[in-house]
Amino acid sequence: GENVEQHPSTLSVQEGDSAVIKCTYSDSASNYFPWYKQELGKGPQLIIDIRSNVGEKKDQRIAVTLNKTAKHFSLHITETQPEDSAVYFCAASIATGGFKTIFGAGTRLFVKA
Amino acid sequence: DTEVTQTPKHLVMGMTNKKSLKCEQHMGHRAMYWYKQKAKKPPELMFVYSYEKLSINESVPSRFSPECPNSSLLNLHLHALQPEDSALYLCASSPTETLQNEQFFGPGTRLTVL
């Protein structure tokens, strides 16, 4: 089945610096790659997503890149702010008689003021 | 209304109890999901309902019984749980199951089994 690996597990940056989180997936049939942010006591919230027919997508300070050949996708956050501190999950969706979303292990991001 | 609500927020139950978790959305979504999330781990899919029919069951033990009474409601009935079932139970919805869509998550029910 699909497996999603995510690195690093913890990331600490200074406010204003950039943060990069990387994921790899195993099943070439995966074609939808969402990124979720989970704050303490809340459910995950989508921050950006990318489909397999697109190589890059940007939304203000957040960007995602996808390399289908290498089965890699990455999240880039620029000009980080303390409120960006949270757990970030990458995910890959695959159709197996219905769409399943498989999550990476998560990255705990700390932004120091 | 772009919200998924879950009740209760917290639940403590004994191993012989029967309880239910409830989830509601009014976005007109036709796919609803139950996930289990242990501390410092990612959400793990348990069940998927599509148009009120169960479409995916990820080999979940029968002590967890899902129910989708209508397109807005999703229940998870709990019976004879084990302490290792203690976790955050997340409900999510998306417009349909068959297209790649954002899933909207509720805040979860934190379950403790004594």
Model pLDDT, residue B22: 98
Model pLDDT, residue A98: 66
Termini Cα distance of chain B: 36
Chain B residue with the nearest C-alpha to that of A42: B107
Residue A78 backbone phi and psi in degrees, to 5: -100, 160
* B2 neighbors B25 (Cβ within 8 angstroms): no
Chain B residue with the nearest C-alpha to that of A10: B40
B8: cis peptide before it, omega within 30°? Answer: yes
Q: Give me the residue from A42, A46, A101 closest to B107, CB to CB.
A: A42
- Residue A101 near chain B (CB below 8 Å): yes
Secondary structure E strands in chain A: 4-7, 10-14, 19-25, 32-38, 45-51, 56-59, 62-67, 72-77, 86-95, 99-103, 107-112
Q: Which of A91, A79, A15, A2 is nearest to A47 (CA)?
A: A91
Which residues of chain A neighbour B41 with C-beta distances below 8 Å? 105-106
The share of chain A scoring above pLDDT 70, in percent, equals: 97
pLDDT tens, B67-113? 999 999 999 999 999 999 999 999 999 988 766 678 999 999 999 99
Model pLDDT, residue B102: 86
pLDDT tens, A77-105? 999 999 999 999 999 988 766 678 899 99
- Residue A92 near chain B (CB below 8 Å): no
pLDDT tens, B34-75? 999 999 999 999 999 999 999 888 889 999 999 999 999 999
State how beta strands A107-112 and A10-14 pair: parallel
* B65 neighbors B74 (Cβ within 8 angstroms): no
Q: Which of A34, A82, A87 is nearest to B40 (CA)?
A: A87
Which residues of chain B neighbour A41 with C-beta distances below 8 Å? 107
* A85 neighbors A77 (Cβ within 8 angstroms): no
Which residues of chain A neighbour B105 with C-beta distances below 8 Å? 36, 43-45
Model pLDDT, residue A97: 64
d(CA B103, CA B44): 14
Average pLDDT for A31-41: 94
d(CA A111, CA A80): 7
d(CA A43, CA A47): 13
Q: Which of B30, B31, B18, B23 is nearest to B3 (CA)?
A: B23
pLDDT tens, A48-70? 999 888 899 999 999 999 999 99
User: How many other C-beta atoms lie within 10 A of the C-beta of residue A14?
Assistant: 9
